[in-house]
Structures are given as structure tokens and as C-alpha cells.
Amino acid sequence: MRLSDLYQQVILDHYRRPRNQGKLPLCDLCLELHNPTCGDVIEVSAVTDGNGRVTDIKFIGRGCSISQASASMMTEAVKGKTLAEAEAVIQQVKAMLRGEPGDYRSLGQLQSLEGVSKLHARVKCAALAWNVLEQAIRAQAARVPGREKGGPKP
């Protein structure tokens, strides 16, 4: 099996069996964004502990397979991470989707989204969930002074 086929399998698997689907009754990070060019919608709800660590995150959405698979992968990737760590992953994924050269091996299975950078119409689809989380983190930082960097350092 070629690597690109494997990546295709990962995306399809997340689309068919989305992880962390749903909506948390209470959330520290809660935001919905639309991608009007494709009609994709992603709503993210997440809770953090006192150290700014994402203890739970869920998403609901509708739209194309890339947007929904990317959201599923995003929730898996940031669950258990601090907001600062999550931000770092967000920036790496967005750079990868923009087609910027770099070493993305640390992203693990998220590298399966790299091929989307060559499909210009789909970049916004794949980036949607990451934009939702990024903006939700910024909105929370604005509400909670001193949390801009994702909470106190250990």
C-alpha cells in the first residue's frame, strides 16, 4: 500500500467513524464556524482543567468528508494537551495545509491531511476545525486574563 493510499484510508476512517462526536453540556471553549465556500459547519465544545489542559473535547458538524474527518482528527490530537501545546499543533497543521515546507513528522497521522494542500478548493475544508479551536482559544484568553499562554507553567 502506498503512503498516499494509507493517508486516504485514515481520512475515510475518521469520516465514517468520527471520534469525539457530540456536544458538551458545559464548555470553556465553545465556538461554531462555517466554511461558506463548501457549506461545511463545525461546532467545537471543550473543557479545560486549572492548568489549561484540554480534558474533554467534542465536535458536531456537517459538510464534506475532508472537513468532518479533519475535525475528528483535531479532537483526538488536542485531547489531553495544554492549550499552548494545542496552539502549536494548530499552527503546524495550518502551515502544512498552506503547503509550507517543513518537517511534519511529529504530527503523526495528521500528516494524512498534507495531500489536501495540493487541492486548493479543499484547504478551507480541512482548516475549518483548526480555525474553530484557534479562535475559541483566543476568545477564552480574552475572557480570562493571564491565560493567554494556555495557563500557568508547571
The residues binding Zn ion (CB under 5 A) are 38, 40, 63-64, 67, 125
In the complex with Zn ion, which residue's Cβ is closer, 48 or 68?
68
Q: Which residues pair with 29 in a beta bridge?
A: 46
* Least distance CB 139 / Zn ion (angstroms): 24
- Choose between 63 and 115: whose C-beta lies nearer to Zn ion: 63
The nearer residue to Zn ion, 64 or 78, going by C-beta atoms, is: 64
Between 63 and 79, name the residue whose CB sits nearer to Zn ion.
63
Q: Closest distance between Zn ion and the C-beta of residue 85, in Å?
A: 27
> CB 125: neighbour CB atoms within 10 A?
25
* Residue pair 42/32 in contact by the 8 Å Cβ criterion: yes
Residues ≥6 apart with Cβ < 8 Å to 78: 46, 54, 57, 85, 86, 89, 90, 133
Is the Cβ of residue 29 or residue 64 nearer to Zn ion in the bound state? 64
Indicate the burial class of 60 (C-beta count within 10 angstroms; 0-12, 13-18, 19 or more): middle
Q: Where are the alpha helices (DSSP H) in the chain?
A: 3-16, 65-78, 83-97, 120-143
Residue 94: count other Cβ atoms within 10 Å of its Cβ: 16
